């Protein structure tokens, strides 16, 4: 029996593959490689010493997904496959709804055909919108999202809740991520966005390695400690281990399970920049730009429910996050194309 990982060649997916394999699970990976690399899978195999069945396929293609389920005894699915850039989603919202919402619905339909009812979904803290208070707990209101990316995640959550309510066979775990950063301690796998990075850490890393001239800081007039946006940054390996904990905890638990996966601490853009400067040993240029549409001032988690229910807690520091990111980027200045 295997766990199917959709989007497994991506940033979070590849790190989760390592943690699953090291925890004794067998896995199968599906990825359309639209924002990922086959090289990531090769490096995961090298790091773990295990061969991974890999299919270059799109979750929106029922015929291709049916062949995967026919070829393997799938017991659960961890669903990472999705587009994830807030700014991009405001420019091409239809693409986000098609990929993230329609893709998940088609995946669930194929799962039903093969009597597979255990799904762990890669959701996001963006479902909370602009929170009235922080830290954010799982019972706070969702749906007042500020961008199409967040709305696509919210719609999928609501869809899975409705399916769960209609049929008690389903076992859904919704993991609401905060801001994944860092890389595997080996420096062999990490975040490798195609084109201009949409997220803070890979952009800083590319400035540090000389691929970008300077960092753009979008807004310095928020009501925060230094005027820049505050987010909850979580090391990607901690996040990956959260998925393993969720799979183990809820292997036989039908119903709906919802968790925040974050560190519980907020850090500003400038604080993350300063931490990275220490890791790479040099000052990095930046400029202040207008706020981006869809951005909010402050967002960080109360992760105590996940700690209690999953026996999981993020343990890696901001310094570890930036050190590991620099190890990856300095060793792979062009990402997986190096």
Q: Could you give the residue numbers annotated as active site?
A: 149
Task: List the beta strands (DSSP E) in 111-238.
Answer: 118-124, 171-177, 179-181, 215-218, 230-231, 233-235
Give CA 235 to chain center in angstroms. 11
CA angle 148, 166, 28 (to 5 degrees): 65
For 6, the enclosing helix (H) or strand (E) is strand 2-6
Q: What are phi and psi of 256, to 5 degrees?
A: -120, 130
CA atoms within 13 A on the CB side of 109: 12
And the tokens for 177?
């991520």
Pairing of strands 118-124, 215-218: unpaired
Tokens 């601490």 — which residue?
265
For 302, the enclosing helix (H) or strand (E) is none
Contacts of 166 (CB under 8 A, 6+ apart): none
């Amino acid at each position: 029996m295997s766990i199917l990982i959709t989007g497994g060649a991506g940033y979070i997916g590849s790190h989760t593959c390592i943690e699953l394999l090291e925890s004794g699970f067998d896995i199968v990976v599906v990825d359309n490689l639209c924002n990922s690399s086959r090289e990531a899978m090769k490096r995961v195999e090298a790091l773990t010493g295990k061969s991974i069945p890999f299919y270059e396929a799109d979750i929106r293609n029922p015929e291709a997904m049916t062949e995967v389920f026919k070829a393997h005894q799938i017991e659960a699915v961890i669903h990472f496959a999705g587009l994830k850039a807030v700014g991009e989603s405001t420019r091409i919202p239809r693409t986000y709804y098609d990929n993230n919402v329609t893709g998940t619905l088609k995946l669930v339909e194929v799962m039903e055909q093969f009597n597979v009812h255990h799904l762990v979904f890669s959701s996001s803290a963006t479902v909370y919108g602009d929170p009235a208070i922080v830290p954010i707990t799982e019972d706070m209101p969702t749906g007042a999202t500020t961008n199409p990316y967040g709305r696509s995640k919210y719609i999928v959550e609501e869809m899975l809740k409705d399916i769960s309510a209609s049929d008690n066979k389903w076992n859904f775990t919704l993991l609401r991520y905060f801001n994944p950063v860092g890389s595997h301690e080996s420096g062999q796998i990490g975040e490798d966005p195609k084109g201009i990075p949409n997220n803070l850490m890979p952009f800083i890393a590319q400035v540090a390695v000389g691929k970008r001239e300077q960092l753009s800081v979008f807004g310095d007039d928020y009501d925060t400690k230094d005027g820049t946006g505050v987010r909850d940054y979580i090391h990607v390996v901690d996040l990956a281990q959260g998925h393993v904990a969720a799979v183990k905890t809820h292997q036989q638990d039908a119903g709906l399970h919802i968790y925040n996966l974050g560190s519980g601490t907020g850090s500003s853009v400038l604080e993350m920049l300063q931490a990275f400067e220490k890791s790479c040993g040099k000052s990095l240029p930046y400029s202040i730009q207008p706020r981006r549409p869809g951005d909010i001032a402050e967002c960080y988690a109360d992760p105590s429910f996940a700690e209690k229910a999953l026996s999981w807690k993020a343990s890696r520091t901001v310094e570890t996050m930036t050190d590991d990111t620099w190890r990856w980027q300095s060793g792979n200045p062009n990402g997986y194309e190096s």
